[in-house]
Structures are given as structure tokens and as C-alpha cells.
Amino acid sequence: MAAASLRLAVAVTFALALASACQGLKVGYYKKSCPRVETIVRAEVKKFVYKNAGIGAGLIRLLFHDCFVEGCDASVLLDPTPANPEPEKMSPPNFPSLRGFEVIDAAKDAVERACPGKVSCADIVAFAARDAAYFLSRFRVKFQMPAGRLDGRVSRSSDALDNLPPPFFNLTELVASFAAKGLTAEDMVVLSGAHTVGRSHCSSFVPDRLAAPSDIDAGFANFLRRRCPADPTPANDPTVNQDPVTPNAFDNQYYKNVLAHKVLFTSDAALITTPATAKMVRDNAYIPGWWEDRFAKAFVKMAAVGVKTGKQGEIRKRCRVVNNAADAKAKYGNGPARRY
């Protein structure tokens, strides 16, 4: 039994390393330039997640929303500027729901103190997402994250709208959206399991799940109607847990919820609309360790989408601004000092 587990762990590690190597990434990328970087990032993530599990869910989502737009290049971290008042983080899929920026700031500050100018914000986002999954799963989701990403200089709100799959997508649309990023239908089903943690605004599901005919469980629908207005507005848009059973645990409960028709989004319910994806859902729900193993592989694969290397990117000094802007602020100032 122990030997079989060891062989499986070696096989998984090899597969992950091989997949990421194709994108110029590798495990232990900072072994010489910043050997403690992953320990530093994990310590910062632990402090925040143990205070608020929702921050951990936000960090996992942050990587997904980064990688699907401009690739995994930390473009989602860039703040609005006079020259670019509408970056990705201000796009409707991200604002005001995307969370975890303060964790990345804290991790970057700590890393810069140890290794100035060596570690990209994009790699910190990837490490932080991996560590959030580790802590929220009570250490069951554990894997190595290859590194070597550079930070991008382009961030547009419109690109987030064009690339992030919305919660009302059907299965065909979901598969196409993930395929555009080099991810398979199984990757999509497995990564959807991240909806086992976090919260959602009522506006993301009321129109097509509660206000229109759907397959949602009647009791669950009534539960949601007691918490959500019939017509959510920006001024009245509460949040609810995405997983009503184990809301703060990164586990496979999500798939059991899908099978029971107790999920929020049309995109969640869509996973059982074909025999092939329904089987994936059942396997993730009922085979011990099945989802955790596949999530590790799919997450590393997603974290290699569209990475910047060489002259394509930079290592930002501060994660919220590109380097030329950071240099200008340092030299000329820009009102009250702001912590990045």
C-alpha cells in the first residue's frame, strides 16, 4: 500500500513537471535566487486564511481570473491609473467580488525584503493560490507549483469580459471557453470543484436559477429566496455560500451538491447534462482522493496558461503598478504614500 502510494506520488510529480516544463516553468525555479520564497508566501497566506477562510477562496479564484485573461501574468493585480482607468480588476466579473489582493501585497513585501527584485508577482499569485488550497483542504490538496512567470504590462477590463466564462454558460460554452486556454473538458469539470469554497452575490444566479425555470432543488431554491432579493441591485446584492454543506472546506462536496441539484450557477448544473461529464462528476464525488489528485494536475496546467517569459514581461517592484509607473511614483510622488 505504501509502495503504491509512493509510486503514484512520483508519477503525479513527474506529470506536473513535464506539463509545466513545456511553458518554460519549473519546480524550484527560485532555488538559488530566493530559496525561501515559497516558505515566505505560505506563511503570509496562512495568517490570512486562518483568520478568514473566504480570503483563501479568493486567492484560488484570483489565479483563475488572472490566467484566463492575458495569461498567468498578474495583470489582474494592476490598479486603475489616469492612463488606464479600467484595468481587469475593475471589470464586472472581478469588481467588487474578487478578493485576496492584500495577501499578495503582504507576501510581495515580505519577499522583497528577503530577495529584492527576484520574484514576480505572477509567481506569488500562483504560490498563494496553491497554499490556499492546501490550508482549506486541511493539507489534503498538496502539490508543487512550478515557477518562472513574469509580470505583464497590459490589463484591460474588456479582456476580462471577453475571456472569463460567466455563471450562466451552458456545457458547450464552458468546454469551448476552457479549450481556448488549452484545457480539456475534464480539466473544466475538475477546476469547477473550486466552487466548494467561497461566496457568490445573488445577482450571479437569481436571474437564471430562481427567477426562471431551472433544475434547482426546490428546497434549496426556497433557502436561497429567503436570503436573496427577487431582483438584486448593486445596492441590494447579498452573498451566500457556494457550498451550503461544507462552506469553508476545500473538498469534493461540491460534486455531491451538483448531483443533488443544490448548486448556484447554471454552469455548475451544466456539468451533468452529458453522460461523459456526469460520470466525471460522480467519480469526483464518490471515489476517495480522485478529485484532489486531478485538481492538483489541472491547477498546475491552468497556472501555465499564457505565461510571460524573457522580454514579454518584467518583475514588478510593486504588484499593483507596472515598473515604469512605480519608478515615477518613487521619484516624483503621487499624493499620500500608499502601501503596495
Which residues are tagged catalytic? 65
How far the first Cα of the chain sits from its last, in Å, is 48
| CB atoms closer than 10 angstroms to residue 80 | 14
Cα gap 181→174, rounded to integer Å:
11
Residue 286 C-alpha cell reads as 464518490
Dist CA 285 CA 280 (whole Å): 8
Matching residue, cell 516553468: 25
β-strands 199-201, 239-241: how paired?
antiparallel
Cα Dmax for the chain: 63
Cβ atoms < 10 Å from Cβ of 29:
21
Task: Locate 132 and state its grid cell.
Answer: 490556499
Q: Supply φ then ψ for residue 150, to 5 degrees.
A: -110, 165
Query: Dihedrals φ, ψ of 213, to 5°?
Result: -60, 135
Q: How many CB atoms lie within 10 A of CB 236?
A: 11
Q: Is 299 exposed, middle or buried, given 0-12, 13-18 or 19+ CB atoms closer than 10 A?
A: buried
Tell which residue, 133, 129, 198, 195, has the closest CA to residue 167.
195
Task: Give every CB contact of residue 221 below 8 A, 6+ residues apart in sequence.
Answer: 209, 210
Q: Are 173 and 165 in contact (CB under 8 A)?
A: yes
Residue for grid cell 441590494:
236
Query: How far, rounded to the nearest angstrom, does the alpha carbon of residue 21 sit from its chain's CA centroid?
Result: 21
